[in-house]
Amino acid sequence: MAETASPEQARTLSAAVLRDLRDDIVNCRLRPGDKLRFSDLKARYGVGLSPLREALQHLAAEGLVDAQDQRGFTVAAMSVDDLQDLVRMRLEIESLTLTDALSCGDDAWESEVVRSAHHLRLTGPATEQAGPDAAAEWCRRHKNFHMTLLSGSSSPRLRNLCDALFDQSERYRLWLILHGTVARDVEGEHDTLMDAALARDTARATALLKQHIQQTADEVADLTATQAALAAA
Amino acid sequence: MAETASPEQARTLSAAVLRDLRDDIVNCRLRPGDKLRFSDLKARYGVGLSPLREALQHLAAEGLVDAQDQRGFTVAAMSVDDLQDLVRMRLEIESLTLTDALSCGDDAWESEVVRSAHHLRLTGPATEQAGPDAAAEWCRRHKNFHMTLLSGSSSPRLRNLCDALFDQSERYRLWLILHGTVARDVEGEHDTLMDAALARDTARATALLKQHIQQTADEVADLTATQAALAAA
DNA sequence: TCCGGCAAGATTTTCGAAATATTGGAAAAT
DNA sequence: ATTTTCCAATATTTCGAAAATCTTGCCGGA
């Protein structure tokens, strides 16, 4: 379990474990709230304590794990409140970054956007039918498309922040998929978003992106409302 | 050197070293670009490798140190470009957070704001005359005032982010002080900012805060321009 | 003189064991 | 019955040595 999650090879065990741990948390193979015992992690990743502790400290700073002195580490919890906080930040930060990307992005950026959009389209329709491998591949391409779009920005801090916030959001999107919420017309949303971006239509692009982000929050709200209704009945 | 930097005591060596390292970097006792050799750090902080590496990984995720696989860690560099990126983010993020604080802050928050403002005023006029200890104390109270103002916000992520960005800015402010730039009427700026905040005048408060942040960037720009002129002559 | 390769030294990274702290439960006391 | 205390089991944290990797300076050859 948990072999190389992304093709880039790490030059240290610490970096490799960081990558694998983040991937396992983002994809809920390590579930929210789980206690991260070193004996378990050692066996799971086949490394010693030093690289594990370093990776966990890094993830603690990123917000994907909680650290408590002398009491170890746990996977960061998920909650409706947390999702609202997360979505609020993404709405503001990603709009800002996208605006910057539209004013800074050059020809190479445009081409990369087109490439990543096409790459994503190629796995699109098969999401439901194909196995978990195909779903994982779609997630990778989906993230790549969004990050490529934002990569035109000239601010390293904004780009990093968007990346971290996207990872945190992935757990909530996965939760929706696991509970059978049928995706809306995501394909179309990506296409129109890309069109607005390439046309440098800032107002339209940010509006579309905000809508795209907000809908995850709304769907989770619907789902929890439905579950509450079911529980009451 | 580098004993307890802040009163809160850490329950692990890792946390203590993280606190001290961050403090030493923010206050430029470890200078931008410096290589952080483990042999040096071991002697400086009197701890083994494990807590050091954990603290460095944490700071790498925060952005105060750069990590390169198999080639150790360095203090994050400073540059005019970096300052512009930093200021741009602070302008947006802190405005957002302050807006939220003004709409969420309760009585306890208001009282804390008044307390921290008064606490800051008490060290104000002595900044120039008194020694480095007094200057360090003013920095602590200054940060405490700004963070208290923003602490009314309901978003943990925004509050954390503001804290990290403030720390990163401190190095640039210190750089200005070291190069003898006389501070403008900072006292007055803090007072008017607090007044606007307590009056829940969002537009005025965010405008004042943005001005406050922007001026550091402008002063650095002036200073580098002056230095360039001197170098040319 | 300049360039590539190689060996010696320095530095980072990793592991296994020792030290320290927490937790759960049984026994004693209220 | 409830609370308190103690002890053993479990888990985390830290250190020091060993392994892996990088850097530096030297040497021989073009």
* Dist CA A184 CA B5 (whole Å): 52
Alpha-carbon gap: B14 to the closest alpha carbon of chain A (Å) = 9
pLDDT tens for chain B, residues 1 to 233: 333 344 468 899 999 999 999 999 999 999 999 999 999 999 999 999 999 999 999 999 999 999 999 999 999 999 999 999 999 999 999 999 999 999 999 999 999 999 999 999 998 765 566 677 788 899 999 999 999 999 999 999 999 999 999 999 999 999 888 887 766 778 889 999 999 999 999 999 999 999 999 998 888 888 888 888 888 87
> How many helical (H) and strand (E) elements, i.e. helices and strands, does chain B have?
9, 3
Residue among B14, B69, B92 whose CB faces A96 most closely: B92
pLDDT in tens, A72-131: 999 999 999 999 999 999 999 999 999 999 999 999 999 999 999 999 999 876 556 667
Distance A70 CA to D21 C1' (A): 32
* Cβ-based neighbours of A145, under 8 Å, separated by 6 or more: A113, A116, A117, A119, A120, A190
Structure tokens at B42: 């071991």
Contact A14 B62 (CB under 8 A): no
pLDDT reported for residue A182: 64
Q: How do strand A73-75 and strand A65-67 relate by DSSP bridges?
A: antiparallel
Q: Which CATH class is domain B80-228?
A: mainly alpha
CATH of domain A13-75: 1.10.10.10
pLDDT reported for residue B1: 38
H-assigned helices in B156-199: 156-178, 186-198
Q: Any atom of strand C under 7 A from CB of A45?
A: no
Query: What pairs with residue A74 in β-bridges?
Result: A35, A66
Distance B48 CA to D15 C1' (A): 6
Q: Any atom of strand C under 7 A from CB of A54?
A: yes
Chain B hits for A85, CB-CB cut-off 8 Å, are 154-157
* Cβ-based neighbours of B187, under 8 Å, separated by 6 or more: B121, B124, B125
Distance of CA A231 to the CA centre of its chain: 30
* Dist CA B148 CA B146 (whole Å): 5
Task: Tell the residue number behind the tokens 């400073």, with chain if given.
Answer: B78
pLDDT reported for residue A129: 64
Q: Which of B13, B52, B54, B161 should be substituted to probe chain A, the one whose Cβ sees the most A Cβ atoms within 10 Å?
A: B54
Secondary structure, 3-state, A34-96:
CEECHHHHHHHHCCCHHHHHHHHHHHHHHCCEEECCCCCEEECCCCHHHHHHHHHHHHHHHHH
Residue pair B149/B193 in contact by the 8 Å Cβ criterion: yes
* Dist CA B141 CA B129 (whole Å): 17
pLDDT reported for residue A70: 96
Residue among A50, A62, A155 whose CB faces B50 most closely: A50
pLDDT reported for residue B223: 86
* Cβ-based neighbours of A1, under 8 Å, separated by 6 or more: A29, A44
Strand D nucleotides below 7 A of a protein CB?
11-17, 21-23
Distance of CA B195 to the CA centre of its chain: 23
Q: How crowded is residue B96: how many other Cβ atoms within 10 Å of its Cβ?
A: 22
* Cβ-based neighbours of A184, under 8 Å, separated by 6 or more: A215
Alpha-carbon gap: B187 to the closest alpha carbon of chain A (Å) = 30
Residue among A50, A58, A157 whose CB faces B58 most closely: A58
Closest CA relative to residue A82, chosen from A147, A32, A47, A131: A32
- Domain A80-232, CATH homologous superfamily name and number: GntR ligand-binding domain-like (1.20.120.530)
pLDDT reported for residue A16: 98
**Interval A17-38 mean pLDDT:** 97
Distance A70 CA to D3 C1' (A): 27
The single-letter DSSP state of residue B94 is H
pLDDT reported for residue A183: 63
Task: Compute chain A's Rg from CA coordinates.
Answer: 19
Handedness of CA A31, A32, A33, A38 (dihedral sign): positive
pLDDT reported for residue A155: 97
Residue A3: pLDDT over 50: no
Residue pair B51/B11 in contact by the 8 Å Cβ criterion: no
Contact B85 A14 (CB under 8 A): no
pLDDT reported for residue A125: 64
Among the ranges given (A55-64, A123-132, A180-189), the one the predictor scored with the smallest mean pLDDT: A123-132
pLDDT reported for residue A4: 34
Query: What pairs with residue B66 in β-bridges?
Result: B74
Chain A hits for B62, CB-CB cut-off 8 Å, are 61
3-state secondary structure of B73: strand
Distance B82 CA to D25 C1' (A): 36
Structural domain spans, chain A: 13-75, 80-232
pLDDT reported for residue A55: 98
* Cβ-based neighbours of B111, under 8 Å, separated by 6 or more: none
pLDDT reported for residue A68: 96
pLDDT reported for residue B17: 98
Q: Any atom of strand C under 7 A from CB of B72?
A: yes
H-assigned helices in chain A: 13-26, 38-45, 49-62, 80-104, 107-121, 132-150, 156-178, 186-198, 202-232
Closest residue in A to B16 (Cα) is A69
